[in-house]
Every structure is written in C-alpha cells, then in structure tokens.
Amino acid sequence: MSELNNALLQEVLDQVRPLVHRGKVADYIPALADVAADNLAIAVCLRDGTLFQAGDAETRFSIQSISKALSLTVALTRYDDSEIWQRVGKEPSGQPFNSLVQLELEQGKPRNPFINAGALVICDLLETRLTAPRQRMLEIVRQLSQQPDINYDRHVARSEFEHSARNAAIAWLMKSFGNFDNDVTSVMQTYFHYCSLSMNCVELARTFVYLANLGKTLDGSQMITPRQTRQINALMITSGMYDGAGEFAWRVGMPAKSGVGGGIIAVIPGEMSIAVWSPGLDSAGNSLAGTAVLELLTEKLGRSIF
C-alpha cells in the first residue's frame, strides 16, 4: 500500500489527467458552462486536520449538489429526526435526479434528501426554522472550513433561478400533496444560493471532515451525533451519486456526494474526507475524472469500507 502524502495525490492526478476531456461540462446555465474543463484537483483532510492536496485544489468552483449534504446536516440540528423523515425518504430513487414520475406515484414524498425534490423539502424545513437561512448557511460553512471569505456566487444563483422551471414544477407538485410549506420562490432562492456556494477542494475537505470524525468538526465541536453521522454516510452510499450510486460504490466504495459543478466529497469513515474536482461529467452527472481519481486513490491506499 502507498503512504498518503502530497506526492501520492499528484501521482494519482497525473495518471487520471488523460480523462479530463472525456466528460461533458454541465451547460444548462452559462455560468457553469464557462468553467475550464481541464481543472483537476484533490484535497484530503485527516481527522486531526492534517491536509494533503494536489492540482487546482485552491481554485474555487460551484459546489452545487454537494450542498445537499450540508443542508441535511443543518436540518438534523434543528429538527427531531422523525420530523425530517416523515417528509423525505431514505431510499435510492432508481431515476434521474430531477424526474417527477416517482414523486407523483409516491404522493409527493421524495425518495431521499439528495435528489432535487428531497433537497427542496429540506430547504423548505430550513426556511421554517432558520431566521435568515442564507446568512446562516454562510456562517456555518465559514466556521466548518475555517475560511471566513467563502461566499455565494450570486451570478450562478441568479442564472440557476432563471433556469429553474423543472425545480419549480417539482416544488409545486410537492405543494399539491401538502409536502411543501413555504413560498416556492423563496425556498428556491435559498436552494439555489446554497448550490452556488463557491469553494475549493481544500475548503470542502475541511468542511466535511465531521463525516469522517463521528460528527466532530475541525474546531472540536460536535456538529451532529455519531449516529447521525453514520446515517448520513449510509445515505450517501446508497443515494449520494444520483442514478450512478451503485456503480460508484462498486468502483470506489466510499460514501460520497457529487455536484454538477464537477466536485465530489467522499468519506473514509473514521479516517479522512476527500474532495476532488474535475468539471467534465459522466452520463449519470458525476465528475468523470473525479470518480477515476477516487477509484485510483482507493486502490493505492488499499482502503475501502468493503
């Protein structure tokens, strides 16, 4: 087995780099389409905060759906578990991330909090309990990452909102089933702001190390309980990678959550959080080279939860 250090990470990136142009950069909004496809980055944060990195690990990008893991975490701190899980399920969807078919058949209860419908319900919950949900999330992310200048990319947020017809349809469908409390536009604004968080791999690895550390953050505070931490990891492995979760578990074997900006946050429970970034996506919407980086790193480290 190889030892984990910056050189190893660089070696992994070098080996994977030929794949960066095989994926397709998300282009449903111009703000995402403009990102250079050849960005490639990795950062690893151990439980004690030790950090390794390689490539463009200090270049920020739009974290997009990775934010769904954050908003779920925040919801767990503000609600009893049962209040959350009566409104959103825990099962893989077996469907594209933004489909309405299953949502209608299952009467407006989203399959899990990592598909759009589920994340919108979580944002609806936060809208009810947080006084300033956008400001509050910024404070949380800045504290978790220990990086006080993290911010929303308002250009991305606005652009998302202008292309939000499908998400509006999802929210209204849930409202028709009584599973959406607040104003659709307000909640979507919050949702798109969360998606537009601009962070780099180093910041992401630091932010999410609590998932590798039984709920403890870098500054030693207990964000969520050990049990809740394991539960989020379980949910990520079954549903974190859109309709490619099975393939990802098969190849990489780590709980993970990806975003269409090309970022992935992955976790080796009890050991480390790993953030990778490469904008080109595979057919399931996950970073193609990013997945390959994680797969290769797993092999070299000889680490897998399986």
Judge whether 267 is annotated as a binding position: no
To a second copy, the closest distance from the beta carbon of 211 in angstroms equals 9
Confirm or reject binding of residue 182 to a second copy (CB under 8 A): no
Whole-number Å distance between alpha carbons of 136 and 134 = 5
- Say if CB 223 and CB 215 are below 8 A apart: yes
* Binding residues among 256-275 for a second copy as defined by CB under 8 A: 269
Residues in contact with a second copy, counted by CB under 8 A, come to a total of 49
**Tokens 């680490």 — which residue?**
303
Span near a second copy by CB under 8 A; candidates 3-11, 118-126, 144-152, 247-255: 247-255
Q: Please report how close the Cβ of residue 11 comes to a second copy at its closest, in angstroms.
A: 20
Written as one letter, the residue type at 36 is A
**CB of 73: closest distance to a second copy in angstroms?**
15
CB nearer to a second copy: pick between 135 and 250: 250
Binding to a second copy in span 224-243, by CB under 8 A: 229-231, 233-235, 237-239, 243
Provide the token pair at 62. Answer: 């739009």
Does the annotation flag 184 for ligand binding? no
Q: Which of 140, 157, 249, 292 binds a second copy (CB under 8 A)?
A: 249
- Contact of 111 with 120, CB cutoff 8 Å: no
Q: Which helix (H) or strand (E) holds 174?
A: helix 165-176
Q: Give me the 47-86 binding string for a second copy, x by CB under 8 A, dash otherwise.
A: ----------------------------------------
Q: Output the six-digit token pair for 88.
A: 């959103």
What's the one-letter identity of residue 73?
T
Residue 11 or 247: which CB sits closer to a second copy? 247
Q: What is the DSSP string of 18-68?
A: GGTTTSEE--SSHHHHTS-TT--EEEEEETT--EEEEESTT--EE-GGGHH
Helices (H) and strands (E) in the chain, counts: 14, 10
Q: Check if the beta carbon of residue 118 is closer than 8 Å to that of residue 108.
A: no
166 binds a second copy (CB under 8 A): yes
Minimum CB separation of residue 204 from a second copy in Å reads: 19
Instruction: Give the SS3 label for residue 170.
Output: helix
What is the distance between the alpha carbons of residues 149 and 199, in angstroms, rounded to a whole number? Answer: 10
Q: Taking CB under 8 A as the rule, does residue 132 contact a second copy?
A: no
Q: Which residues are annotated as a binding site?
A: 65, 116, 160, 167, 191, 242, 260
Residues that bind a second copy (CB under 8 A): 89-95, 99-102, 104-105, 111-112, 165-166, 168-173, 175-176, 180, 184, 229-231, 233-235, 237-239, 243-247, 249-250, 253, 255, 269, 304-306
